[in-house]
Structure 1
Amino acid sequence: MAVNLPLSLLLLFSLSSFQTLSAKPRDDLVRSSCVHASYPDICLRTLSSYDGPANTPRDLAQAAVKVSLTRARKVSDYLTTVRSANKREQSALKDCVEQVGDSVDELSKTLSELQHLRTGGSGASYRWQMSNAETWVSAALTNEDTCLDGFRDVDGKVRSDVKRKITNVARVTSNALYLINRLD
């Protein structure tokens, strides 16, 4: 007995099968790339939901830097709106705004370097570009840590909010560094 399915139902089934098949290699790449990251759950969550291309290790490293850059910019915007009557907090906030601003600059340079990375994965030019990317992401991480250091002797809601937000950025930045290092 032949089953007559409406054409729209057949088309829908075909498209969903195609999407599942085409998404699988990307999901596998994300999973296999994130498994040994410093924060594998965060890596998997942020890169699995990433909208842009992430079909190669290089795409994935760029995506990780974009995630980090976006979060660093949001934290930078947040920090410029925080007000405090406490002099220590004010000083820590001022320093933190500068440090996170530097992180944004370094992550921007990293992204540009990765986007212009010479293909082929060898040669002096490639090694130079990789060294730049690794150095800038490492510097961004250091800036994020330095921001937190400024709040060491401060207590309260501002400190806990800043710490939570900076820690989040530092974790995605650490994962980005890991994925960049995997390119080498």
Structure 2
Amino acid sequence: MNPNLNLFFCLLFTLCSMYQCRDVGEAQKANLISSACDRTLYKDLCRQTLQSDPESRAATDIGVLAKVALQHALSQAKQIQGQLSKQNDKSVAFKDCNENYDGASERLQDSVTSFKSKKYSDVLTWVSAAMSNSDSCEDGLKEMGKASPILGLSTTFSQLCSIVLALTNQLAGH
């Protein structure tokens, strides 16, 4: 057989193997997101959030996924704070919501710090506290009969926090 032909087939085989390995790696990463999200209450939001983020799409372990979800929850809290600051409504309900989301953001920032130190039980505590802050805001707005876009954002925030709790529990082996 022609030596050039042998070299050609050798290169062709190598390239095919590399592409196949890359495809397998991509599938494993997609499966990581899918399997992690399957163990959450809000599977669709979990998949949508993690698959939209380049860091989680490249993740090789659940720790990265939990961190990304935590970052998204913190971002959502800050978005709500921004919406609250734009409101002209100076009612007690909106003032309380503003304070609640200030507290929620602080708790999530504490969670980020705890996560970096692998203090997962602290992460669970802080994220749960942030969810309580959000619930207090929602309850206050509902009691005042206030229709507000904050309620929709707040629901998403609570769902993201639930996802963080589920992923952190998986990471911590609970």
Give the TM-score category using the shorter length.
0.7 to 0.9
Q: How many residues align?
A: 157
Matches of 2:81 and 2:18, distance apart in 1:
41
Aligned match of 2:148: 160
Deviation track 1:84-108 (CA, whole Å, cap 9, x = no partner) reads 2xx6xx2111100111111111111
Report the aligned-residue RMSD: 2.2
Query: 1:110 offset after TM fit, Å?
Result: 0.8
Tell me which stretches of 4 or more aligned residues in structure 1 moved more than 4 Å: 13-19
Task: Assess, with a 3 A threshold, how the Cα gap between structure 1 residues 22 and 94 changes in structure 2: closer, same or farther.
Answer: same
TM-score normalised over the length of structure 2: 0.81
Matches of 1:70 and 1:45, distance apart in 2:
15
Aligned match of 1:100: 101
Query: 1:168 offset after TM fit, Å?
Result: 0.9
Aligned match of 1:173: 161
Task: Assess, with a 3 A threshold, how the Cα gap between structure 1 residues 14 and 72 changes in structure 2: closer, same or farther.
Answer: farther
Matches of 2:45 and 2:86, distance apart in 1:
27
TM-score normalised over the length of structure 1: 0.77
Q: Which runs of 5+ in 1 are unaligned?
A: 1-12, 118-128
Matches of 1:143 and 1:15, distance apart in 2:
49
Contact 1:58 1:114 in 2 (8 A): no
**Are residue 59 (structure 1) and residue 60 (structure 2) matched?**
no
Identify which of 78, 81, 89 aligns with 2:86.
Answer: 81
Aligned match of 1:9: none
More helix by share: 2
Matches of 1:15 and 1:98, distance apart in 2:
53
Secondary structure of 1:151's aligned partner: helix
Matches of 2:22 and 2:86, distance apart in 1:
42
Q: Which runs of 5+ in 2 are unaligned?
A: 1-15
Task: Assess, with a 3 A threshold, how the Cα gap between structure 1 residues 46 and 15 changes in structure 2: closer, same or farther.
Answer: farther
Identity of aligned residues (%): 28
Deviation track 1:41-79 (CA, whole Å, cap 9, x = no partner) reads 000110111122532111111111011111111111111
